[in-house]
Amino acid sequence: MRSKFNEQLTQLNNSLIEMGKMVEQSIADAVKALIEQDTALAQKIIDSGNEINDKEKELESFCLKLLLQQHPVAGDLRLVSSVLKIITDLERIGDHAEDISELTLLLADKQYVRPLVNTPKMAEATMKMLTDSIEAFVKKDLELAESVIAYDDVVDELYVTVKTNLIKLIKENPDNGDQAIDIIMIAKYFERIGDHATNIAEWVIFSITGIHKDSKIM
């Protein structure tokens, strides 16, 4: 029985890694479409959103099956419970990639009033957070998970910079207002992606220690 359970846990890890890669690719494509104003790529991200949703449902079903059939305890229970939480954040990150792509389509027929500099930096930072949080889960790396949480400050600071610069741009020329607001919304979506990556890292810590946000759960 234990041997079969170990195989199932390995399968669970592999499926989570696969979902993580799908979401990472979605973010990478979203920022590429934004920078290059690539409408075909932006539409592809929107159209493929159901693939991430389906993966979430598949993993959720598998976790519930493990809980019902194997009755895991202690560390195993924390691991399966953490995956249930992590896949929700991954799915929401995928949703934000779609949100960004929808705004990219709106902006595609207009020249950017200012070169995109800090927004791609936000995307790069959030992808690092996501990649590191998944790696921390797979390797059970507490230190790496904690570094993801700390790195969210970088994303937050970049968001403030983007927002401040664009508000200044609106004040200088109100005609730039519509586009500036759309770009601020895109930056906000990246900021939210960072928050979800932070959530994942917090559940990684829980899976290792049983402590979530300084409260011992199990």
What would the pLDDT profile of 95-140 be if each residue is shown by its tens digit?
A: 999 999 999 999 988 888 888 889 999 999 999 999 999 999 999 9
- Per-residue model confidence (pLDDT) at position 215: 63
Q: Count Cα atoms within 13 angstroms, Cβ side, for 33.
A: 27
Q: pLDDT tens-digit profile of 136-157?
A: 999 999 999 999 999 999 999 9
The whole-model pTM stands at 0.92
Map out the domains of the chain as residue ranges: 2-216
- Per-residue model confidence (pLDDT) at position 39: 96
71, containing H or E segment: none
- Per-residue model confidence (pLDDT) at position 76: 86
25: alpha, beta or left, given left = phi > 0 and alpha = psi -120 to 50?
alpha
Reported CATH class of domain 2-216: mainly alpha
For residue 55, CA distances in Å to 62, 160, 170, 211, 217 come to 11, 33, 41, 27, 27
Range 178-189 average pLDDT = 94
